[in-house]
């Protein structure tokens, strides 16, 4: 297990007024809304993505979300997650965002898509149709301190145990996504890792 601390100077890459793509449950666009508005109350269903970055040893990179974030600030999450902006392809957005947040640019493989809703008290909610991607790199992250407070590499077994034993430390979407990757997509992850060894 390795900790990586964040850099002190970083560009601003998240904006409350950036336009997110509202969708129906079949991922058909139905309009746009600012990021801030889409996460208020119980949230409005919008397009999103999650990325799991592995190293060649098979460890997965987690990030601790900045404590300044309105929703789940300070919680541990998967390597990177965000939203495509109006007119932006989801895969291209995922490639962009991992570079902005992690300073990494591995080729991403699409795994699956799912809809979820998670409420964060009175502060707002995530209601997302989320595409899940995975990539592998031998490089260490150079993280954006505006987005991330810390990162850590965990073995799959360590993450399994952490989610079982201390779920309150982790974001809901990580708790939804990781078990499904382990049960339904692990062969894809192993094939991805094999290309880097």
Predicted confidence at residue 196, as pLDDT, reads: 84
Beta bridge partners of 21: 32
Predicted confidence at residue 6, as pLDDT, reads: 47
Spatial distance between the Cα atoms of 115 and 24, rounded to a whole number of angstroms: 10
Closest-CA residue to 23 (of 44, 51, 52, 1): 44
The topology (CATH level 3) of 2-11+18-194 is: Nucleoside Triphosphate Pyrophosphohydrolase (3.90.79)
10-24, 46-60, 85-99, 151-165: the lowest-pLDDT one: 10-24
Query: How far from the centroid of its chain's Cα atoms is residue 27's Cα?
Result: 18
3-state secondary structure of 84: coil
User: Where exactly are the structural domains of the chain?
Assistant: 2-11+18-194
Mean pLDDT of the chain: 92
Question: How much is the average pLDDT of 22-41?
Answer: 95
Q: What residues are labeled active site?
A: 81, 128
pLDDT tens per residue across span 121-178: 999 999 999 999 999 999 999 999 889 999 999 999 999 999 999 999 999 999 999 9
pTM over cut 0.85: yes
């Amino acid at each position: 297990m390795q900790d990586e601390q964040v850099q002190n100077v970083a560009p601003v890459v998240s904006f409350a007024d950036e336009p997110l793509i509202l969708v129906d449950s079949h991922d058909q666009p139905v309009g746009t809304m600012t990021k801030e508005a889409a996460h208020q109350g119980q949230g409005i269903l919008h397009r999103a993505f999650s990325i799991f970055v592995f190293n060649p040893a098979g460890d997965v990179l987690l990030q601790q979300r900045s404590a300044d974030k309105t929703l789940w600030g300070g919680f541990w999450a998967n390597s990177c997650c965000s939203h495509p902006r109006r007119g932006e392809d989801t895969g291209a957005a995922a490639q962009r965002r991992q570079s902005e947040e992690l300073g990494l640019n591995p080729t991403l493989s699409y795994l699956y898509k799912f809809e979820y809703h998670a409420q964060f008290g009175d502060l707002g909610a995530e209601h997302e149709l989320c595409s899940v991607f995975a990539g592998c790199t031998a490089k260490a992250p150079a993280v954006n301190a505006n987005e991330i407070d810390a990162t850590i590499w965990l073995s799959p077994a360590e993450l399994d145990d952490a989610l079982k034993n201390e779920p309150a430390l982790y974001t809901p979407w990580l708790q939804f996504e990781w078990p499904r990757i382990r049960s339904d997509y692990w062969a894809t992850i192993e094939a991805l890792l094999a290309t880097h060894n």
